[in-house]
Amino acid sequence: MIGRWRPLPLFRLYRPALVAASLGVLFSVVGAAAVARWEDRVNRVEFESTAETEAIVMQNGMNEYISRLVALRTLFESTNEDVTRSEFETFAGRLFERHPGMLRVAWLPRVNRKERAEYEAAAAADGVSGYRIKSLQGDGFATAPQEDEYFPVFYSTQPKTSPVYGMDYATIPDRYAAIERARDGDRIAALRTRLYEPREGDQLPNVLVVVPVYAKGTSRDTVADRRRNQAGVIVAAFDLPLLLRAIRTTTAASPAISVNVYPPFTGQIVSLEQSLPDFSSSATAPQSMADVSKGVHWSGNLRIGDTDWQVRALPTAGGPLETAYDRALTVLVVGMLLTMSLASYLVLASRNSRRLSLANRRVLELAQTDILTGLPNRAFFLARLDEINRQMREDGLTFSILMLDLDRFKNVNDSLGHGAGDLLLRQVAQRLKSALRQSDVLARLGGDEFAIIQEGCDDQRVCSAELAGRIAKLVTEPFLLPGHRVEIGTSIGIAIAPEHGSNQEQLLRKADLALYRSKAAGRNCFTIYDEAMSAELEARNMLEGDLRDAIARCQFELHYQPFVDVASGQRCGFEALVRWRHPTRGLIPPDQFIPLAEETGLIVALGEWVLRRACEDAASWPSDARVAVNLSPVQFKEAELFDVICAALGDSGLPPERLEIEITESVLLERGIENHAFMERLKSIGIELALDDFGTGYSSLSYLTAFPFDKIKIDKSFISNLSHRPHSSAIISSIVTLARGLDMSVTAEGVETSEQFERLKGLGVNFAQGYLLGRPQPIERIAPEPPVAGSRLDAA
Ligand SMILES: Nc1nc2c(ncn2[C@@H]2O[C@H](COP(=O)(O)O[C@H]3[C@@H](O)[C@H](n4cnc5c(=O)[nH]c(N)nc54)O[C@@H]3COP(=O)(O)O)[C@@H](O)[C@H]2O)c(=O)[nH]1
């Protein structure tokens, strides 16, 4: 469908950018999430592997400490002699020399009631002054009451002045329980305990490890054996945080994880929230176990004796194993940037494409619009005609084409200028629009030609005739141009589809033929095409072909009509009038072929032949006989006309003073300045100029003063009216007066009666021409001697 273009809605314009932006954001987020998950998984695997390694390393370190205690036990169980105090101190000191975190090691023999005094005395002898077996009472010690069995601190790596010497572990319930567990199970027991001689400022909880020692060579197979044969226990106090830190330092533990060690939950229900680590490798405050469990963590155990300590490892804050999501962030940022870039590019591309499309549409619109009137132009009209023709044929409907040509538009253009002509065309376009329905198509085909497609009528013939009548009436209404009131008309030709044709070409040709007929019929009317017009056209085409042949074969002849001096009755000369001797149709008068010759341009060649022939003929006439030759407006536009005339005169030898050139007012309508100059050139060589058919044309009188004529030929229509229209005499009288004033002569054409002749004579007309004085005849039939005016008149 050919129609007005509308821009795309904004949403549709930017849809590619919106889709790209949405997909881009979606892919960026999904991609970033996937990368984050992948980062998490990789970090978690690495973290768990590192944490596991750390736990194993810590366990090995702890085992090393325990193994040294076991070595000490071997000392007690392997010697035959009792281990002396100094041997214990030396051996224990060496064992734990480079093992930070080992606070103290002590030997607690199993002492019965009878041996008590002996032990107390031996210790005192070894330099532990005031040694006695003590029991714990509150925060202090008191001499132990008589019991069956004691486990007093006997040897220790503590200075001998320490109050712990003699402290009986059997009086401290948790420690005694650990001794029993160790003894009965022949295993190493451990417990978290408070030291009774804490180091200055040492608030850290400590671990006490108990190693059972049995008498050398005794059985320990059963619990009873072990209870019976226990010699004592080796007790070691660990500063657990220091110990673990030392292990981590010596094993170059990874700083990427931080390790928290929580106390064992032996048989107790302990709130996880409250369970703070006993050891944390991180510098930050220890978290509760519950907090740790919420995040990324690794869980394991640290075995100390018969207790399992809870190990929780975390990725160190800001360390390499804490997932920083930097790759995911990079993916997100890069994705967003790419999305933004793509979306921006698409927005710009959409805008550019919209701009381009607008420009294209504008070009298309301009290509289909007549700039002057704003109406669709010929290209649009033809395209629309094709479209409507196709549609109507499919639907079995009819439509009409109206071809319009303004009458006298050229007149306005030439007399008032092109600006006024343009304005007039715009006003005509508006009037035509106002006469049409929305569905009708109106176009300006060019110049003063308009065309209409009318559809949707029940009776297309009646409908288009009504429209044409309305338009003709509208266009005859005066138009107001600046300073002028202009009256024009329009000729209209109508073709109806499908009656007059099935395609664009046929319909346009037939509408044109009808238009031609309207013009020929006197303009400002409309004609609906009928088949006779085509026959006429065919005949005209045939005539055109014949005319071309006739020029080539020289089938023309000149007839001469005399004109006489009214006062003397003497013949002054002849007007040359061309005839076509057609091989089959006989003699054809000029009215039937001159217009066609003018339309086809053949008049140029024909006119030159007439001119040459007339000059040649006239050259043989008496020296005072003149010849008048008609020049067509088409010939007048030819640049070579002056040379052609000169050549005709030169070749025939006819003096220029004996040649009269007759032109009609229509010649003067165009190219005023050039024509004036041309006429002056003709006059300058002696040729006379006559204004032919005066009184039939336009603003005749103004031409008389503007152009250098020698003669005015009053049209025969005035002469024939002389007898029954009195004002014709008055007009002729005025023309004669005016001509005299301008030093011109006057010829009356079409004088057929003596009465006319006499009246013209009375009115002062200089020359007369008409059937009364002689019909146009071939040169050979013209009498050599001019007849006397009186006798001719009598003869008529
Ligand atoms: N450009 C050219 N135009 C030419 C040429 N030859 C003729 N013409 C023009 O053709 C028109 C018709 O001419 P024609 O049929 O020859 O008619 C002329 C006379 O026969 C006719 N006439 C003369 N006297 C009378 C009369 O008493 N009554 C009457 N009814 N008709 C008469 O008038 C025609 C001459 O008219 P005009 O030229 O205005 O003097 C005509 O317009 C010719 O001009 C040509 O070679 N070139």
Atom 10 of ligand 1, residue of closest alpha carbon: 590
Give the residue among 527, 544, 66, 566 at the shortest CA–CA distance from 303.
66
Residue 497 in contact with residue 391, Cβ under 8 Å? no
Q: What is the pLDDT of residue 645?
A: 97
Output the six-digit token pair for 712.
């005015």
Q: Mean of the pLDDT values across residues 539-554?
A: 90
The minimum-distance atom of ligand 1 relative to the CA of 579 is 6
The minimum-distance atom of ligand 1 relative to the CA of 635 is 1
Q: Mean of the pLDDT values across residues 589-600?
A: 93
Q: What is the pLDDT of residue 787?
A: 46
Q: What is the pLDDT of residue 205?
A: 55
Q: What is the pLDDT of residue 796?
A: 32
b/e map 202-239, b = 16+ CB within 10 Å: eeeebbbbbbbbbeeeeebeeeeebeebbbbbbbbbbb
Ligand 1 center to residue 721 CA distance, Å?
A: 18
Give the residue among 551, 406, 544 at the shortest CA–CA distance from 479.
406
Does residue 597 lie within any of the structural domains? yes
Domain end marker among 508, 529, 550? 529
Q: What is the pLDDT of residues 480-524, one digit of tens each?
A: 999 999 999 999 999 999 999 989 999 999 999 999 899 888 778
Atom 46 of ligand 1, residue of closest alpha carbon: 578
The minimum-distance atom of ligand 1 relative to the CA of 771 is 27
Does residue 722 lie within any of the structural domains? yes
Ligand 1 center to residue 578 CA distance, Å?
A: 9
Which among 630, 754, 767, 775 is the best mutation to test ligand 1's pocket, defined by most ligand atoms within 8 Å of the CB? 630
Q: Mean of the pLDDT values across residues 199-205?
A: 51
Ligand 1 center to residue 523 CA distance, Å?
A: 23
Ligand 1 center to residue 749 CA distance, Å?
A: 9
Q: What is the pLDDT of residues 672-701, one digit of tens each?
A: 778 889 999 999 999 999 999 887 765 457
Confidence band of 292 (pLDDT split at 50, 70, 90): confident
Q: Mean of the pLDDT values across residues 94-116?
A: 91
Ligand 1 center to residue 648 CA distance, Å?
A: 22
Pocket (CB within 6 angstroms of ligand 1): 561, 575, 577-578, 589-591, 594, 610, 630, 632, 692-693, 716, 749-752, 769-771, 776
pLDDT(285) > 70: no
Same domain, 248 and 291: yes
Same domain, 551 and 480: no
Ligand 1 center to residue 630 CA distance, Å?
A: 9
Does residue 5 lie within any of the structural domains? no
Q: Mean of the pLDDT values across residues 381-409?
A: 94
Q: What is the pLDDT of residue 265?
A: 67
Confidence band of 760 (pLDDT split at 50, 70, 90): very high
Atom 47 of ligand 1, residue of closest alpha carbon: 630
Confidence band of 1 (pLDDT split at 50, 70, 90): very low
Q: Mean of the pLDDT values across residues 366-370?
A: 88
Look at 343-357, 445-459, 692-706, 731-745 and tell me which has the smallest mean pLDDT.
692-706
Does residue 325 lie within any of the structural domains? no
Q: What is the pLDDT of residue 639?
A: 85
Domain end marker among 500, 529, 558? 529
Ligand 1 center to residue 466 CA distance, Å?
A: 39
Helix ranges, 640-752 (H): 641-652, 665-669, 672-684, 700-706, 716-720, 726-741
Same domain, 574 and 440: no
Which among 563, 577, 611 is the best mutation to test ligand 1's pocket, defined by most ligand atoms within 8 Å of the CB? 577
Ligand 1 center to residue 617 CA distance, Å?
A: 18
To the nearest whole percent, how much of the chain has pLDDT over 90? 61
Does residue 35 lie within any of the structural domains? no
Q: What is the pLDDT of residue 262?
A: 85
Does residue 292 lie within any of the structural domains? yes
The minimum-distance atom of ligand 1 relative to the CA of 578 is 6
The ipTM estimated for the assembled molecules is 0.94
Same domain, 299 and 392: no
Atom 21 of ligand 1, residue of closest alpha carbon: 750
Confidence band of 795 (pLDDT split at 50, 70, 90): very low
Rounded Cα distance, 630 and 561, in Å: 12
Q: What is the pLDDT of residues 617-672, one digit of tens each?
A: 999 999 999 999 999 989 988 889 999 999 999 999 999 999 999 998 877 766 67
Q: Which domain holds residue 188?
A: 80-314
Same domain, 569 and 510: no
Q: What is the pLDDT of residue 192?
A: 84
Q: What is the pLDDT of residue 112?
A: 94
Ramachandran sector of residue 586 (left: φ over 0; alpha: ψ -120 to 50; beta: rest): left
Atom 18 of ligand 1, residue of closest alpha carbon: 577
Q: What is the pLDDT of residue 390?
A: 94
Atom 33 of ligand 1, residue of closest alpha carbon: 750
Same domain, 144 and 226: yes
Tokens 């110990």 correspond to 243
Ramachandran sector of residue 750 (left: φ over 0; alpha: ψ -120 to 50; beta: rest): left
Q: What is the pLDDT of residue 8?
A: 60
Ligand 1 center to residue 561 CA distance, Å?
A: 9
Atom 7 of ligand 1, residue of closest alpha carbon: 577
Atom 19 of ligand 1, residue of closest alpha carbon: 776
Q: Mean of the pLDDT values across residues 575-597?
A: 94
Same domain, 511 and 563: no
Atom 16 of ligand 1, residue of closest alpha carbon: 577
The minimum-distance atom of ligand 1 relative to the CA of 631 is 1
Q: How far is CA 315 from CA 36, 262, 298, 319, 767, in A?
A: 16, 17, 9, 7, 132
Q: Mean of the pLDDT values across residues 389-408?
A: 94
Q: 3-state DSSP call for residue 656?
A: helix
How many structural domains compose the chain? 3
Rounded Cα distance, 1 and 453, in Å: 15
Angle (CA) 502-433-470 rounded to 5° is 80
Ligand 1 center to residue 641 CA distance, Å?
A: 22
Atom 2 of ligand 1, residue of closest alpha carbon: 630
CATH of the domain at 146: 3.30.450.350
The minimum-distance atom of ligand 1 relative to the CA of 561 is 23
Same domain, 398 and 426: yes
Q: What is the pLDDT of residues 653-664, one digit of tens each?
A: 999 999 999 998
The minimum-distance atom of ligand 1 relative to the CA of 662 is 38
Same domain, 654 and 611: yes
Q: What is the pLDDT of residues 15-43, one digit of tens each?
A: 888 998 999 999 999 999 999 999 888 88
Does residue 29 lie within any of the structural domains? no
Tokens 């009708």 correspond to 440
Q: Mean of the pLDDT values across residues 254-267?
A: 80
Does residue 4 lie within any of the structural domains? no
Rounded Cα distance, 23 and 10, in Å: 19
Domain end marker among 529, 560, 591? 529
196: Cα within 13 Å, side-chain hemisphere: 20
Ligand 1 center to residue 314 CA distance, Å?
A: 124
Confidence band of 274 (pLDDT split at 50, 70, 90): low
Cβ neighbours of residue 657 under 8 Å, at least 6 residues apart?
Answer: 686, 687, 688
Ligand 1 center to residue 683 CA distance, Å?
A: 24
Ligand 1 center to residue 577 CA distance, Å?
A: 6
Q: What is the pLDDT of residue 280?
A: 82
Query: Of all helices (H) and strands (E), which one includes residue 303?
Result: strand 298-304
Q: What is the pLDDT of residue 98?
A: 84
Atom 24 of ligand 1, residue of closest alpha carbon: 770
Residue 316 in contact with residue 322, Cβ under 8 Å? yes
Print the SS3 string covering 201-258: CCCCCEEEEEEEEECCCCCCCCHHHHHHHEEEEEEEEECHHHHHHHHHHHCCCCCCEE
The 8-class DSSP code of residue 266 comes to S
CATH of the domain at 469: 3.30.70.270
Ligand 1 center to residue 520 CA distance, Å?
A: 19
pLDDT(406) > 70: yes
Rounded Cα distance, 305 and 207, in Å: 10
Same domain, 567 and 673: yes
CATH of the domain at 753: 3.20.20.450
To the nearest whole percent, how much of the chain has pLDDT over 70? 93
Q: What is the pLDDT of residues 127-161, one digit of tens each?
A: 999 999 999 887 788 999 999 999 999 999 999 99
Q: Mean of the pLDDT values across residues 299-327?
A: 87
Confidence band of 101 (pLDDT split at 50, 70, 90): confident
Same domain, 482 and 599: no
Atom 20 of ligand 1, residue of closest alpha carbon: 776
Same domain, 220 and 157: yes
Confidence band of 179 (pLDDT split at 50, 70, 90): very high
Q: What is the pLDDT of residue 279?
A: 81
